[in-house]
Amino acid sequence: MLKETPSNRARLLISCHDRPGIVSAVSTFLHQHEANIVQSDQYSTDPKGGMFFMRIEFDLQSDDRFENVKSAFQSVAAAFEMDWRMELALRKKKMAIFVSKEDHCLLELLWKWRAGELHVDIPLVISNHDDNRSEVEAYGIPFYYIKVTKETKQEAEQQAIDLLKEHDVDFIVLARYMQILSSTFVSTFPSRIINIHHSFLPAFIGANPYAKAFDRGVKLIGATSHYVTDDLDEGPIIEQDVLRVNHRYTADQLRVAGRNVERIALARAVSWHTNDQVIVHGNKTVIFS
């Protein structure tokens, strides 16, 4: 991480139906457990019967008190019927990367990880092609080639699931992984699979979207990063970005521009997820800065 994080710092994310007393109950609880709130953000969709979302960072007297505080908070959560999670900020989440042939998003994540800009461990990279093995192994990360065909798709996915469970992976990033995941795979890791794709959808579907965009004379290139659901490319959006282009761009230049936007948008989404800045609600996300 770019700045040193205290070992006793924790994060609490909450979502529940809005009603009076939530902020008071949470802050009183933390005060009673000798925690010092260092940052607090909240959002309500509608103060009268809407949804309430909250993210708090707080420092405990010592990091060994975390599990006790987390256990004790269950009574507050039950009183307000909260969906919640509490994490130690210093804990590194285990991130698996899936990739096919294109390496621009993969290399962006690996570079940021090595530079300390992504506070994660990367126990493995999985691919349906062997093309990126040398780049991944140069970082000292195990690379698993799992070939996927129409006939072996179910078996290949189970092999990947077994590896992910073996490595106790927290979340998965599809860094231009060009396979559609089954419902079984997606349901095994709910709200824990992050994808990236160009933002032309539903226009220019299929192969060579940038060539089709060139033929249409587009003026904006964009990318969308989202959580994966059973609805293809329609899961809760985490981040989107755009870049203005013009008639002077060739199809190849559009493709380069698109790849740049893809890697930036994906890296932001991964960073926000890693830092516990995202709450998923239905098919939307609340992103706390």
DSSP 37-84: EEEEEEEES-TTT-EEEEEEEEE-S-GGGHHHHHHHTHHHHHHTT-EE
Domain 93-287 has CATH 3.40.50.170: yes
Q: For domain 9-88, give the CATH superfamily.
A: ACT domain (3.30.70.260)
Residues taking part in catalysis: 233
Asked whether 42 and 53 are in contact (CB, 8 A), the reply is: yes
Interatomic CA distance for residues 130 and 250, integer angstroms: 30
- pLDDT number for residue 3: 65
Q: What residues does each domain of the chain span?
A: 9-88, 93-287
Between 104-114 and 251-274, two packed helices, what is the crossing angle to 10 degrees?
40
HSE-CB of 8 using CA atoms within 13 angstroms? 14
Q: What is the pLDDT of residues 18-54, one digit of tens each?
A: 999 999 999 999 999 999 999 999 999 987 779 999 9
Q: Give CA separation, 133 vs 10, 118, 139, 171, in Å.
A: 36, 21, 10, 21
Count of CB atoms situated within 10 Å of the CB of 147: 11
Q: Give CA separation, 56 vs 21, 47, 234, 259, in Å.
A: 16, 19, 29, 34
- pLDDT number for residue 144: 98
- pLDDT number for residue 1: 44
Question: pLDDT above 90 covers what percent of the chain?
Answer: 88
Question: pLDDT above 70 covers what percent of the chain?
Answer: 99
Positive or negative: CA dihedral 199, 205, 206, 211: negative
The pTM of the full predicted model, rounded to 2 decimals, is 0.94
Identify the segments of the chain with pLDDT beneath 70: 1-3
Phi, psi torsion values for 40, nearest 5 degrees: -145, 130
